Amino acid sequence: MDDDLNSGVQRLLALLRSSIPPIHPAGVPFVSAGLVAAAAGRNHRWLRGAALVAAGANAAFFRHPHRVPPTRPGVVVAPADGKICLVDTATPPTELNMPAVPLQRISIFLSLLDAHVQRAPVSGEVIAVQHRPGRFGSAEQATASADNERNSMLIRTSGGDEVIVVQIAGLLARRIICDARAGDRLSIGDTYGLIRFGSRLDTYLPGGSNVLATLGQRAVAGETVLAEVK
């Protein structure tokens, strides 16, 4: 009887782990603050309720879902969850000191309801990471790529292809987190950063890439294929 009970509990825990995503470490202080406030206000129903709602909202925002990246070579995957809001060409961010040659660019807008962790679009070595201060305008605007605060990262694959991914702060975003540093090696789909509260991700592709993403498409970080590199 005890063995059956233990087995049932283990299956329940496994189900919960598979259906409820963990929280990114950056979100732990926010969730903890809500739970502490709820405990402190246990004698005040409105305060306890508001604190629990805040803790739940932060847990949802900072969720870190498991993703399975594609295994076929030569693909560039979405670095973030969200809606593809722009497919065009643009010169790379100036702070990376790259040639001012227009590259194909795919932009993903993250709403407050999207998971906000960022994932490596390709496997390779981090060549450069550069932060640039800027405005906090709406990330949905085309001018956000040039005007808003951003963090640019250049990754070089084993085949020599270079992919740029840019974290862009939005209207509510006030904190860009990038855990990657020059010299690090990332595998496709690895989590490398996070932007707090609404943002945008730009991906610049190597010349001659075959773009597969379409405007308005929903992207899943680490899984949705944006392009194929020739």
- pLDDT at 113 (0 to 100): 80
* pLDDT band at 148; cut points 50, 70, 90: confident
- pLDDT at 16 (0 to 100): 44
Tokens of 80: 């973030």
DSSP state of 99: -
Q: Indicate whether 69 belongs to any domain.
A: no
Phi and psi at 155, nearest 5°, equal: -120, 135
Q: Indicate whether 196 belongs to any domain.
A: yes
Say whether both 205 and 105 belong to one domain.
yes
Last residue of a domain, one of 39, 61, 83: 61
Mean pLDDT along residues 203-219: 95
**Is residue 117 within 8 Å of residue 194, measured between CB atoms?**
yes
pLDDT digits (tens, 9 = 90+) for 153-205: 999 999 999 999 999 886 655 578 899 999 999 999 999 998 876 688 999 99
Catalytic residues, by residue number, are 199
| Among candidate residues 226, 198, 187, the one with its CA nearest the CA of residue 140 | 198
* pLDDT band at 220; cut points 50, 70, 90: very high
Say whether both 111 and 25 belong to one domain.
no
pLDDT at 5 over 70: no
> What is the domain-level CATH number for residue 86?
2.70.70.10
Say whether both 131 and 208 belong to one domain.
yes
Mean pLDDT along residues 7-21: 51
Mean pLDDT along residues 127-141: 76
Mean pLDDT along residues 3-18: 49
pLDDT digits (tens, 9 = 90+) for 93-113: 999 999 999 999 999 998 878
Say whether both 44 and 129 belong to one domain.
no
Q: Indicate whether 179 belongs to any domain.
A: yes
Report the percentage of the chain scoring pLDDT > 90: 49
Which residue bears the tokens 């998971």? 115
Q: Indicate whether 80 belongs to any domain.
A: yes
pLDDT at 4 over 60: no
Q: Indicate whether 67 belongs to any domain.
A: no
Say whether both 141 and 220 belong to one domain.
yes
Say whether both 160 and 104 belong to one domain.
yes
User: What does the alpha-carbon distance between residue 154 and residue 24 come to, in Å, rounded to a whole number?
Assistant: 23
H runs (alpha helix) in the chain: 2-19, 28-40, 45-61, 144-147
Range with top average pLDDT, 54-63, 111-120, 134-143: 111-120
| Among candidate residues 205, 222, 125, the one with its CA nearest the CA of residue 166 | 205
Q: Indicate whether 68 belongs to any domain.
A: no
Say whether both 208 and 141 belong to one domain.
yes
Question: Which range of residues forms the domain containing residue 79?
Answer: 75-228
Say whether both 43 and 154 belong to one domain.
no
Say whether both 36 and 82 belong to one domain.
no
Say whether both 124 and 218 belong to one domain.
yes
Total domains in the chain come to: 2
Dihedral sign, Cα of residue 108, residue 110, residue 114, residue 115 = positive
- pLDDT at 180 (0 to 100): 94
Give every CB contact of residue 66 below 8 A, 6+ residues apart in sequence: 21
User: What does the alpha-carbon distance between residue 214 and residue 186 come to, in Å, rounded to a whole number?
Assistant: 26
pLDDT digits (tens, 9 = 90+) for 49-92: 666 666 655 555 666 678 889 999 999 999 999 999 999 999 99
Say whether both 47 and 89 belong to one domain.
no
Last residue of a domain, one of 35, 61, 87: 61
Phi and psi at 116, nearest 5°, equal: -110, 15
Say whether both 113 and 7 belong to one domain.
no
